[in-house]
């Protein structure tokens, strides 16, 4: 267990900017619109001073007291309460440029009532330079002692800020670690809006870790949730529902959309959620293409199957998916009901297996034996009276498995033949359910690449 540092405060005091400053990258979405953050967004951060270094989990929460435009205020407040209850240290953030407000006093009162003995550090944010520092004295009225000043955007006084955090962290003990934990297999949960992604994350985590609502666009940030199952470790990444680009409404949806795609790119395995109660959409098809383009091992998760199984047989639905999601027929399919926690164990076992497949390396001898058999069974077509020759094959990389064929002329191996090779490799090598990257390298021409 790492010390958990939880950031709280009213809307628009700079909580998400503070998390991003500590992380050294853009984790939470930052926007002037109040109430952008809804879920608990967490990241592992190395807190380093001149004398010590500790890894902590920093958690960003929604703005307390926000009037959510989609009537999710109660759910946001519940996520804040969960964060406070789990905290080892609370960062109570205020905005010195607007001064103390009645809502700041309300947050202070709630912390006194519910934080118990958890230490709380009063953080006077938006102190962009030395001339703004005297304004931080107004924060004394909140009753949390001397505030520490910081600018989350310019990092003014960052060293003193980190030293104050370090001084309030619990001492490492039997239950507290100082090292960054293993994130395990990164699972990006992708799909269109209302496919059930957040419900699945909560089912995997065994807790109400993210907000679930029938309101479209509830999830905005990409939320990482660490899961341990026996000796296996996963990090599930809940992402915002993907929409057509022309349907994106404003900056927040734009940033959410791109964070979803970025989460897919950094994942080891992607869970592509398909809502069984509606037809496969253009967004589902575009996501399928995106996953193939990035060689991502994929589990096709048919969610809400409990609501659709009276109208469809599983075999019939599998055939339907093979036709709808072109090029993804090798990906395993799991039928689930995330709401009822059905199929979740099978889903995790499958994801683990795909990650193992993608990381496997075959010997050069075995690979060349397979290539020799495959080419002998069906040789590349002749072109201009020239016969194709394969000199040898080797595996260049894993994640994805990357196989190179060194040949006399790459142009003789057209796209149809490359698809044939990949399909046969999938039959003969331990890569039956993951994408394979094929590189054809000829003597006279640049290499040709194929995906499958």
Whether the model clears a pTM of 0.85, i.e. scores above it, the answer is no
As a whole number of angstroms, the distance between CA 348 and CA 131 comes to 54
**183-187-190 Cα angle (round to 5):** 145
Q: Please say whether the beta carbons of 127 and 154 come within 8 A.
A: no
pLDDT of residue 211: 40
Phi and psi, residue 99, nearest 5°: 80, 175
Question: Which of 22-31, 128-137, 374-383, 429-438 holds the top average pLDDT?
Answer: 429-438
Residue 153 has pLDDT above 60, yes or no: yes
Report the phi/psi class of residue 327: left, alpha or beta, with left for phi > 0 and alpha for psi in -120 to 50: left
Share of the chain above pLDDT 70, in %: 82
Q: Name the pLDDT band for 84 (thresholds 50, 70, 90).
A: confident
Q: Are 335 and 343 in contact (CB under 8 A)?
A: yes
Residue 31 has what pLDDT? 41
Highest mean pLDDT among 52-61, 78-87, 335-344: 52-61
Give me the domains of the chain, ranges plus CATH numbers. Answer: 4-168 (3.40.50.300), 185-358 (3.40.50.300), 364-451 (3.30.300.20)
Q: Percentage of the chain surpassing pLDDT 90?
A: 43
């Amino acid at each position: 267990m790492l010390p958990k540092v939880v950031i709280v405060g009213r809307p628009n005091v700079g909580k998400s900017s503070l998390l991003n400053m500590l992380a050294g990258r853009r984790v939470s979405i930052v926007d002037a619109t109040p109430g952008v953050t809804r879920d608990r967004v967490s990241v592992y951060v190395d807190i380093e001073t001149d004398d010590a270094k500790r890894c902590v989990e920093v958690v960003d929460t929604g703005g307390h007291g926000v009037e959510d435009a989609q009537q999710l205020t109660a759910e946001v407040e519940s996520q804040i309460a969960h964060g406070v209850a789990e905290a080892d240290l609370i960062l109570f953030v205020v905005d010195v440029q607007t001064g103390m407000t009645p809502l700041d006093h309300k947050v202070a009162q709630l912390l006194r009532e519910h934080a118990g003995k958890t230490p709380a550090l009063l953080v006077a944010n938006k102190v962009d330079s030395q001339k703004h520092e005297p304004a931080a004295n107004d924060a004394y009225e909140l009753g949390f002692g001397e505030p520490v000043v910081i600018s989350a955007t310019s990092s003014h006084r960052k060293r003193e800020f980190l030293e104050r955090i370090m001084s309030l962290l619990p001492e490492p003990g039997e239950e507290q670690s100082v090292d960054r934990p293993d994130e395990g297999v990164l699972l990006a949960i992708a799909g269109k809006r209302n496919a059930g992604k957040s419900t699945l994350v909560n089912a995997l985590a065994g807790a109400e870790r993210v907000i679930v609502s029938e309101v479209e666009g509830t999830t905005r940030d990409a939320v990482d949730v660490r899961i341990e199952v026996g000796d296996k470790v996963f990090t599930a990444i809940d992402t915002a529902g993907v929409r057509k680009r022309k349907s994106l409404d404003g900056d927040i949806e734009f940033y959410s959309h791109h964070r979803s795609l970025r989460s897919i790119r950094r994942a080891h395995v992607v869970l592509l959620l398909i809502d069984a109660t509606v037809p496969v959409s253009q967004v589902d098809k575009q996501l399928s293409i995106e996953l193939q383009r990035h060689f991502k091992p994929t589990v096709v998760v048919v969610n809400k199957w409990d609501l659709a199984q009276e109208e469809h047989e599983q075999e019939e639905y599998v055939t339907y998916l093979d036709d709808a999601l072109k090029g993804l027929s090798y990906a395993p399919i799991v039928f689930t009901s995330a709401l009822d926690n059905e199929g979740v164990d099978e889903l995790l076992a499958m994801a683990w297996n795909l990650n193992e497949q993608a990381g496997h390396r075959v010997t050069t001898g075995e690979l060349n034996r397979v290539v020799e058999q495959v080419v002998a069974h069906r040789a590349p077509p002749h072109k201009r009276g020239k016969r194709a020759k394969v000199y040898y094959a080797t595996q260049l990389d894993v994640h994805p498995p990357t196989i190179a064929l060194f040949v006399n002329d790459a142009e003789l191996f057209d796209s149809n033949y490359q698809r044939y090779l990949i399909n046969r490799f999938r039959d003969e090598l331990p890569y039956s359910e993951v994408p394979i990257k094929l590189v054809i390298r000829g003597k006279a021409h640049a290499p040709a690449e194929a995906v499958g």
